Amino acid sequence: MSKMFGGCGSYFELNKTYLVYGYKSEIGTITNFCTRTSELNEVDIINNEFNNYKNKAEQSQKYYIVTMIILGSLLLISLIFNFIRRKKP
């Protein structure tokens, strides 16, 4: 037998090394049948995917900050305009 079924579509071959993902819990780091698993030689591909995701997240955060500054400025201008307009007789 050269392959073993690991659950959720994962097959493991003898004499190969795998990266098995885990997650933190109250009892430590755990994994289960459906946790992501990759061959260890795919780590570079996974690392590139992570870096791309990280870059997109950072770019989205910049857009969010710029949008909040613009909206805050518009709100402040609107409040000042309404305050001045109400003061006039």
pLDDT at 89: 65
- Contact by Cβ (8 Å): 11, 21: no
Q: What is the pLDDT along the chain (89 residues), one digit of tens a residue?
A: 555 555 677 778 888 888 888 889 999 999 887 887 878 888 888 888 888 888 888 888 888 888 999 999 999 999 999 988 887 66
What is the domain extent for residue 27?
A: 3-87
pLDDT of residue 3: 59
**Number of domains composing the chain:** 1
- pTM reported for the whole predicted model: 0.41
Which pLDDT value is given to residue 6?
A: 58
